[in-house]
Chain A
Amino acid sequence: MTLARDQVTHVAMLARLGLSDEEVERYRQQLDAILAHVDRLQQVDTSQVAETAQIGGLVNAWREDVRGECLPVEKALANAPKRRRDHFEVGAIQE
C-alpha cells in the first residue's frame, strides 16, 4: 500500500500535530515502510481468538464510594501556563 499525503495530513489533524511540509513527506515515507511491515499481522488467523486489553486478567477494579482526598486547587493549577482565578484558561473554541 502507499500512503497518500492527504492521509498523513488528515491523521496529523486528528492528532492535533502541527507538521511542516517537509515533516509530512518524511512521515509519509516512514509510516508507509512501518505499515508495510506491520501488515503481516493480517496473515495471522484470528477468527477464533478474543482480543486482549488487560493482560493481568482483571475485569473491574471497584472501590467504596467514599469521598477521598483531592489535589488542592493551588497544586492542581501550579503548572498551568495560563490561569484565571481558580481555573485553567483556554482560548475561545468559537469566535
Chain B
Amino acid sequence: MSGETVGELGARLRRGETTPGELAAQARSALAALDALHPVLRYTEALTERQAGRAAQMLADSPEQAGPLCGIPFAYKDVLCVEGVETSAGSKILQGFIPPYTGTALARLLDAGAVPVAVTNCDEFAMGSSNENSAFGPVGNPWDPSRVPGGSSGGSAAVVAAGAVPFSLGTDTGGSIRQPASFCGVAGFKPTYGRVSRYGLIAFASSLDQIGPFARRVADAAHVFTAMAGHDPRDSTSSPAPVEPVSEQLGRGVQGMRLGVPREYMAEGLEPGVRTAIAAALAQLEKLGATLVEVSLPSTEAALSTYYIIAPAECSANLARMDGVRFGLHVDRKSLTDTYLETRGQGFGPEVKRRIMLGTYALSSGYYDAYYRQAQKVRTLIAEEFDRAFETVDALVCPTSPIVAFPKGDKSDPLSMYLCDVLTLPVNLAGLPGISIPCGLSEGLPVGLQVIGPRLQDARVLRVAQAYEQATAWHTETPPLPPAVTGTPS
C-alpha cells in the first residue's frame, strides 16, 4: 500500500480487489520494515483483527453506507486510550497500563470502520518537539534517520511520511501535530480547541490539548476530522456548536479570499530555506486568486513565555494522578510520602520532571499572580489579536516552523528546544484550527506551510490547504528511504 491514499484504498476495497484484513496485514509489514526508525511502540494485534472483521462486515452489508474510512488501516499516538490495548504515554510510569475504556475520538473512528494497526512512539506525555523525550527511545525522520521527526507526535508523522499507513492520529498542545507534519512532509491538522473530544486522551495541558490527524492528502485529513468531530457530553470542554460539513468548503479554492501574513512570523530566525519555500507558497496562493495582506500579531513574542507557564502549570496538576496507587509504576516505600517521591522520581523522565517543577513553581504561593495569572491575561491578549486579524482576513498563512528537521541531540538545552514551537503554540493559546502542509524542500528536507483559521472554521482551513495542495506537487514528494527501512510496495 506504499503511499496510497485513503481514497485510493477505499476504491480498491469497494472494487473487491482487497480486504480490510489484507490492508491491515500490509500496513503491519510496512510498519515493521520501519523498525530502524522506531516509530512504533506496539501493534494492536487482536483489536486489529477484530476491527478488520467488523469493517469487512460493514462493507459487505452496505458498501454505500460504509464511510470513506471503512477498512482503512491507521496508527495512533501512545496517549490515546483504547480498551484492552496498552497505552503508556511514552513513559515508564505508565508502562503496562491497559485502559479500561475507549476514548471518544478512537471510538468514533472504530465505528466508522477504520482499522487500528499500531500505537506510535511520542515524547513522554506529549512533552517535546523532537520525540527525543520518549522513555522508549527516539524516532528517526524518514527523510534522514539521523534527524528528528519533530514532536511530540513524531512516530505518527513518520509512519505516514514513510507510506506505511495512509493516516494516523496525533495530539497537539503547542504544535505537536503541525511541527512533526512539517518536519516529515505530510499534512497535519490541529482542529479548533474543543472540536474533537479529549475523553480518553491522557491529559497534558487540558486547556490546550487537541486530537487531530496526519495524512498525505488534505482530503484524507478532512475525512478523519469529520469522523471524530462533534460534541461529546463526556468532555465538558467539547464545543456544543454544530460541525460545519467540510465537504461544503473543500474544492472551492481561494479565489477572492483574503489571506493574512503575520509580520512577526516572518521575522528573523527563519532559516533561509524555509523563507524561500514560504515566499514561493505565498506567491502561489496569490496566483490562485487570494489577496495577501500583511497583519500584525504584536504579542507573538510573549506567546512562548505564556505557553511555558500555562502548559507546565496544567501538566503539574494533571500528572498529580500518577501516584502509583491506582495504575502505573509503584515503588513501595514505608511511608506514603516516600512512595510518592520514589514512584514519581523513578517513573518520570527529565523533561516531564522539568515541566512539573516549572508548573508547580508558577502555581506556588507567592508566584501565582506574577506567573500563572499574568500568563492567563496575556493569553487573552494573544487571542484578541488573532480575533482582530480575522476581522480583515479569512485565514492566516505562515511557516509552521522556523527551521527544518534538526539532527538528533542538536537541542539539548531545554530553552532552545522550546523555541522550536514559537510559530505553532500561539494557535493553541487562542484555541484556533491550524494545519501544516508540505510546501517545499530545503536541502532535501521538508518545509511546512501553516494555515490558521478563526475558531470553529476548521473547514475553511482545510479548504485553503487543499487549494494549495492541488496547485502544487510537494505532497507527492516521498522520503528517499534507505533499503533497510523501505516497506514492500503492494
Contact = CB atoms under 8 A, between A and B. Distances in A.
Nearest to B235: A61
B98 A44 contact: no
B374 to A, nearest CB: 5
B429 A55 contact: yes
Contacts, number: 171
Contact of A54 (B207, B336, B353): B207
A49 B100 contact: no
Interface stretch (B271-279, B375-383, B390-398): B375-383
A46 to B, nearest CB: 4
B472 interface: no
Contacts of A46: 374, 377-378, 380-381
Interface in B291-312: 299, 301-302, 304-306, 308-309
Interface in A49-67: 49-56, 58, 61, 63
B303 to A, nearest CB: 10
Nearest to B363: A14
Interface stretch (B30-38, B175-183, B211-219, B326-334): B326-334
B65 interface: no
Interface in B380-413: 380-381, 383, 413
A75 B308 CA distance: 36
Contact of B239 (A30, A56, A76): A56
Contact of B374 (A42, A61, A79, A90): A42
Interface residues of B, number: 74
B100 A75 contact: yes
Secondary structure dominating the interface of B: helix
Given A30-B414, A38-B309, A92-B336, A61 B236 contact: yes
A16 to B, nearest CB: 4
**Residue from the set A31, A39, A91 with the largest chain B CB neighbour count within 10 Å:** A91
A58 B371 CA distance: 24
Nearest to A50: B380
Contacts of B302: 40-41, 44
A78 B325 CA distance: 12
11 contacts: A17-B357, A23-B353, A34-B308, A51-B373, A51-B379, A55-B383, A58-B236, A76-B100, A79-B100, A79-B326, A88-B326
